[in-house]
Chains A and B, each alone.
Chain A
Amino acid sequence: MSATTEIPQQAPGATSLPPAVEERKGLTKKEVAADHPTWCPGCGDFSVLALYFKLIEKRKLHHEKITTVSGIGCSSRFPYFVQAHGVHFIHGRSLPFASGVSLTRPDIHPFVFSGDGDALSIGGNHLTHTARKNIKMTLVILDNWVYGLTKKQTSPTSPLGYKSKTDVWGAVDHPINPMKQLIASGATFVARTTHTQPNHILQMMEAAMDHDGFSVIECLSECVEFYEGAFDASNPRKGGQFSLVPADHDVTDEVAAYKLADAPFPGHFGIFYKASRPTKNASELAINAKLSEPFKGQKDWQILQKTFNKMK
């Protein structure tokens, strides 16, 4: 060892700490808001942020338990606007990061905010595998069908024919259908909402948070700067139609969910698919319980000593 390992456990001035037992009120919007959002006026993301605040308020979440994680993109600026523990990670990798949080901290339910490029393009592999592993957390994909932060390039959800700076003649690559992809990947909670329906967003967020597993919400979020009017067909105020998932849809029916996702735009909104499957969090705990059982009551060094004795 080249250095001592004294790490201060308490900051100076620890006397001003709150008492151990106390009645704690829910946070107000003022207490949970941090930086003023840097989004363009009229951006759909404002609405999602407002509903996240509402969720925190309604569910009486406290600062220290809120963990907001994001990657790179307009929507990934999210954590800076929330007064709580937050992570602004690298492009496309917020899911494995949040998985590390979820798997080591059963007391925390990470919320990940991502865009269509972040979640479905550069981070596509992680989306599939986080779904397959069913790691407990919520992912909200703020889908605007375009790359906004880099100023109007084709995104993996841009419809065919969309004219961007990288496809001036119109997009030619078949767009990803996030619902279909998530269902096929094994996500256990797949829902769809849109920024113009605040109550529905909150409803979806609450259901996602309460789901024991990997819950994903695709939230249409209009980019007024580079894709104005993209979602008008889903907005009744613009003459469109906001159709909920039919009441008789069986959310545990994978094939039915896939068919529902096949409807042409604007399609349906609500929970498409919800299944109960062991989370990786639970599976790992079960492995732990089984493997640590023979060593109950022993100190860690004694367990290692046993192994080393066999390596003599």
Chain B
Amino acid sequence: MSEPVVAAPVAGAAKNAMNVSEAVIRIAGNSQDGIQAIGGFLARLAGRSEQEVMTFMTIPSTISGGPSIFQVRIGSGEVLSAGDEADVLLAFYQHSYEDHVGSLKKGGIVLYDADHVEPRPEWLETYRHVGVKISALTVESIGGTAKDKGKNIFALGLLANMFDLNTAKLEQLITERFGGKDPSVVNTALSAFHAGNGYSFGGVVETFRLSESQRHGTSQVVMNGNEALAYGVIAAGVRFGTAYPITPWSDVMEILRRELPKYGGSFVQCEDEIASICMALGGSYAGRLAVTGTSGPGLSLKTEALGWAVMAEMPIIIIDVQRGGPSTGLPTQVEQSDLNIAVYGSHGDAPRVVIAPADVEDCFYTAIEAVNIARQYSVPVIILSDQAISTRIEAFAMPDLEKVCQELPLDLTPVAEHKPYDPTAPDGITYHKPPGTRIANGIYPIATGLEHDVYGHPSASPKVHQTMNAKRRRKLQKLATTLATPKVFGPAEGEILLVGWGSTQGPIKEAVDRLRAEGFQVSSLHIRNINPLPPGLDSVFAAFKQVLTVEINDEGLYGFGQLAGLLRAAICDPRIGSITKTDGLTWKVREIVERVQLKIAAGAKKS
């Protein structure tokens, strides 16, 4: 509701509603209240209404119970972040109210369950309070016990009422969601929804209407980052995967376990993280490029086998949905602190590819890109996602699946001879031949972790090791030359260039917009290809007085975030610095703006 527009009366509208271009709604309750469902319905509605949407959620690491929030930002224009401040807080409990009232903008609306929340007098001035006996009215509308089942759907009805949402579309979504079960379940849900939607606020608070999207005819799909990665892997043609459950990666393996058999593939739950990558490598070796995935602690466990994949030049996809570390760390919170292990984690010199998707849509396409690079360069590829992107829901244009989907049939074409590790191959790029491939000259290859000759037989000759190290490196140097230099967001020269990676693209762009509006010469750049880096970064950086990476990790012993460390090593530009934080939450736009302003002020003091 950043730009409220007074509504012209709309034909057929029963009430006077204020037109708004976007809304940020924060729903706070406990993890078992189904608040994710409310958020999910709102996100899907936005998707079907050709609007943009981004969500943000926190979950406790306990199985049931514990405070949880779900925030939805819906807009008719570009939505780059889940929003710093909420327009409406829907609070189910006293703790939800007290912990989250601060996230509301001044004058925002607290919509609270009057059965559980006692408003605090000192806040009545600052925020507008609207109490509704959500629990009692839900029981009244659908019967049952006070176990509060269905109150989330009642609350959805309230929000639909307040924002004059399209009830027909919401009813359709509810029917789809609860369909297939006992028909009484759908009817009960619809009753709860209608009761909430029919509730009269009695003029205590105005109602709103979201402006219609300007984009027409775009079919959108709505999902979170974990779903986008899983379906991206399927679209890429991968038909074998393995993993061990770990938060927040597990959703991806659950989807792949359920979906891959439909495509004739399979996904195996292994006994541990190590077995997972080893079994995936077995699949890749057998000619079925495989995927495995994990979160931080699992990546640590997988690094020995990852080194084997580099040495044996075996393609494989490894997804890391980052969470706070080190060790068990913050299992349900976001951090971008696995960049170093992804890029460097191994004993010996073990070059591998690392790609970090920038948003939910990018998760889908990154999976396909990763698969094609792994195959073309016979190399392990790590996809660095994170907790924030994995759980946040976005709407994006329906991919042209007929065009995008690819098949990777098993190739056992006989060959005359095969040297899997021929260092004289152009750019050092060679290919693996799976068992079942007949080799006419009768010399068969060994895939090995020992340093080896062209056929994979052991060789400890110093010259061979040097040549082979170079071979494994040259492949990725070749890959780097094929990458596009990322485009600068904003003018290509100025005072400060913000450089981001991974899930923070949206908030960084929004911060750039805000800083420029305040007169600061700030632009931004987002790097997806972390290793190897794309070419041309040095000349992009040269047009700015200062380059600051924006990262969710610690500044480290030497004062730089992990990407900044990599960039400084690659480009040797002392103007590269960083702003970092490790509070377990994604960057708020306001935080980036303030930290950049501090850097500018500090720079001005020096000069």
Contacts and interface: CB of A to CB of B under 8 A. Distances in A.
Q: Do chains A and B interact in one complex?
A: yes
Interface-centre pick from B266, B270, B372, B406 (highest chain A CB count, 10 A): B266
B600 to A, nearest CB: 34
Interface in B440-483: 440, 442-450, 456-458, 479, 482-483
Contact of A129 (B271, B401, B436): B271
Nearest to A15: B416
A64 B48 CA distance: 53
A86 B449 contact: no
Contacts of B417: 11, 13
Interface stretch (B129-137, B407-415, B497-505, B551-559): B407-415
A193 to B, nearest CB: 26
Contacts of A34: 444, 457
Given A3-B373, A100-B240, A100-B242, A83 B443 contact: yes
A295 interface: yes
Nearest to B271: A129
Given A67-B435, A99-B279, A105-B436, A304 B304 contact: no
Contact of B278 (A93, A107, A303): A93
A284 B266 contact: yes
Interface in A1-50: 1-11, 13-18, 31, 34-35
Given A93-B275, A105-B287, A300-B407, A65 B268 contact: no
Interface SS of B by simple majority: mixed
A86 B447 contact: yes
A259 interface: no
Contact of A17 (B373, B416, B447, B484): B416
A128 B373 CA distance: 35
A3 B376 contact: yes
A18 B438 CA distance: 9
B402 interface: yes
Given A100-B278, A129-B275, A301-B405, A16 B444 contact: no
A98 interface: yes
B264 interface: yes
B287 A104 contact: yes
B483 A311 contact: no
B293 to A, nearest CB: 15
A308 B221 contact: yes
A100 B280 contact: yes
A292 B264 contact: yes
A125 interface: yes
A88 B271 contact: no
A9 B411 contact: yes
B264 A288 contact: yes
B210 interface: no
A176 interface: no
Contacts of B437: 64, 85
A129 B446 CA distance: 26
Contacts of A67: 435
A100 B442 contact: no
Given A97-B285, A108-B286, 11 more contacts: A1-B372, A2-B479, A16-B416, A63-B438, A86-B445, A89-B281, A100-B278, A104-B286, A284-B266, A301-B235, A311-B222
17 contacts: A3-B373, A63-B444, A67-B435, A80-B446, A93-B275, A99-B279, A100-B240, A100-B242, A101-B282, A284-B261, A287-B261, A287-B266, A291-B261, A291-B262, A292-B262, A292-B264, A311-B227
9 cross-chain pairs, A with B, having the tightest CB-CB distances, nearest first: A100-B282, A301-B405, A129-B271, A85-B435, A96-B278, A291-B261, A96-B275, A100-B279, A100-B283
Interface of B: 44, 47-48, 176, 219-223, 227, 231, 234-235, 237, 240, 242, 259, 261-266, 268, 270-272, 274-276, 278-288, 290, 304-305, 308, 312, 368-369, 372-373, 375-376, 398-399, 401-402, 404-407, 411-418, 431, 434-440, 442-450, 456-458, 479, 482-484, 529
Interface of A: 1-11, 13-18, 31, 34-35, 62-67, 79-80, 83-90, 93, 96-105, 107-108, 125-126, 128-129, 280, 284, 287-288, 290-292, 295, 299-305, 307-308, 310-312
